[in-house]
C-alpha cells in the first residue's frame, strides 16, 4: 500500500491562468451553493414564522442543499474539479491530488464566495438575519465534532470513490449526484444536532455576516479531520498509487 506524497507546489501557482480560473470557479460555485442553501432556510423561516427547526424545515434544508450542491459541483467540475468545500480540498491535498499552494487559493475563493453569498442574501431580503450554525440544546461541542467528522468522512469518501479513483469508470458521471445526495442525507442525520455543516466555508459566511462565532471551531476541526481520514483510507487502501499529481479537472 503506497502512502500518498503530499505536494507543496510553489507561490508562482497563484499567478498561473489556470489556477486563477479554478479559483474563480470555486468562488462562483460556492456562491451558488450557499445562496441557495442558506437562502432556503431563510425563506422557510419567513414562510413559517421561524419554523426552520422543525421536521419540515430539516427536510427542506436537506433537499435544497442536495440540489444546490449537485449544480455547484457540476458547473465547476471541468474547471476547478468542483470541490465547493475547503474540507474536500484538504482531502484532495492529503491524498496528493492538489498542491498546498493551490489548496490555499481554493480556500480563499471558497470562503469569499460564502461571505458574498450571505451578504447578497442579507441585502436581497431587506436585512433578514443569515442564521449562523450552532449546537442544539444538550449537544456538547465534542459531540458535534464527532458528528462533523463522521458526516464529512462520508462526504469525502464519496468524492474519492466517484470522482478521484482512477478505476471509477462510468460511475464518474454520477459523481455530482452522489455528492449532493450524501450531503442531503447527512443533513437529515445531523441537522437537528449541530446543523450538519460538513463544510467550513458554509459555516464561515453566515458567521461573518451575523458575527456569531460560538463554537465555530467545531465546523473547522470536525470537517478537516473527517476529510483527512477519508482521504488516507481511500488513497492508501483502494487507490494504492504513489502519486502527487493534481486532481484531473477533466474527470472531476
Residue with cell 432556510: 41
Helices 175-194 and 141-159: angle between axes, nearest 10 degrees: 170
Residue with cell 449544480: 71
**Which residues have CB under 8 Å from 71's CB, separation 6+?**
32, 33, 36, 176
> Under a CB-based contact definition with an 8 Å cutoff, are residues 47 and 135 in contact?
no
d(CA 130, CA 185): 23
Give CA separation, 23 vs 93, 116, 118, 140, 251, in Å.
Answer: 15, 15, 19, 35, 17
- Lowest-confidence region among 47-51, 125-129, 204-208: 47-51
| Average pLDDT along the chain | 92
Q: 3-state SS string over 66-128? A: HHHHHHHHHHHCCCCCCCCCHHHHHHHHHCCCCCHHHHHHHHHHHHHHHHHHHHHHHHHCCCC
Bigger pLDDT: 163 or 10? Answer: 163
Record the pTM. Answer: 0.92
pLDDT value for 252 = 44
Residue with cell 482531502: 91
Residue 244 pLDDT class (50, 70, 90 cuts): very low
Give CA separation, 101 vs 13, 142, 235, in Å.
Answer: 7, 30, 21
> Under a CB-based contact definition with an 8 Å cutoff, are residues 65 and 203 in contact?
no
> Under a CB-based contact definition with an 8 Å cutoff, are residues 128 and 46 in contact?
yes
Residue 243 pLDDT class (50, 70, 90 cuts): very low
> At the top level of CATH, which class does the domain 11-239 belong to?
mainly alpha
Domain boundaries, the chain: 11-239
Tens of pLDDT along 110-164? 999 999 999 999 999 999 989 999 999 999 999 999 999 999 999 999 999 999 9
Number of C-beta neighbours around residue 233 at 10 A: 15
Amino acid at each position: 500500500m503506497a502512502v500518498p506524497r503530499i505536494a507543496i507546489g510553489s507561490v508562482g501557482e497563484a499567478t498561473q491562468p489556470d489556477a486563477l480560473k479554478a479559483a474563480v470557479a470555486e468562488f462562483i460555485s460556492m456562491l451558488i451553493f450557499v445562496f441557495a442553501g442558506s437562502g432556503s432556510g431563510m425563506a422557510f423561516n419567513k414562510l413559517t414564522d421561524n419554523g426552520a427547526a422543525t421536521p419540515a424545515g430539516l427536510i427542506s434544508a436537506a433537499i435544497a442543499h442536495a440540489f444546490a450542491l449537485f449544480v455547484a459541483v457540476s458547473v465547476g467540475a471541468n474547471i476547478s474539479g468542483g470541490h465547493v468545500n475547503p474540507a474536500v480540498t484538504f482531502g484532495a491535498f492529503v491524498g496528493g491530488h492538489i498542491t498546498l499552494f493551490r489548496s490555499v487559493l481554493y480556500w480563499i475563493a471558497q470562503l469569499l464566495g460564502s461571505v458574498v453569498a450571505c451578504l447578497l442574501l442579507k441585502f436581497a431580503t431587506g436585512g433578514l438575519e443569515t442564521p449562523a450554525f450552532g449546537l442544539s440544546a444538550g449537544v456538547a461541542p465534542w459531540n458535534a465534532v464527532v458528528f462533523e467528522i463522521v458526516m464529512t468522512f462520508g462526504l469525502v469518501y464519496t468524492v474519492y470513490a466517484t470522482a478521484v479513483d482512477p478505476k471509477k469508470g462510468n460511475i464518474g458521471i454520477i459523481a455530482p449526484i452522489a455528492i449532493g445526495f450524501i450531503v442531503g442525507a447527512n443533513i437529515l442525520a445531523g441537522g437537528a444536532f449541530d446543523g450538519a455543516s460538513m463544510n467550513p466555508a458554509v459555516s464561515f459566511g453566515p458567521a461573518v455576516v451575523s458575527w456569531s462565532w460560538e463554537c465555530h471551531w467545531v465546523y473547522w476541526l470536525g470537517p478537516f479531520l473527517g476529510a483527512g481520514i477519508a482521504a488516507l483510507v481511500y488513497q492508501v487502501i483502494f487507490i494504492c498509487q504513489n502519486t502527487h499529481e493534481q486532481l484531473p479537472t477533466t474527470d472531476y
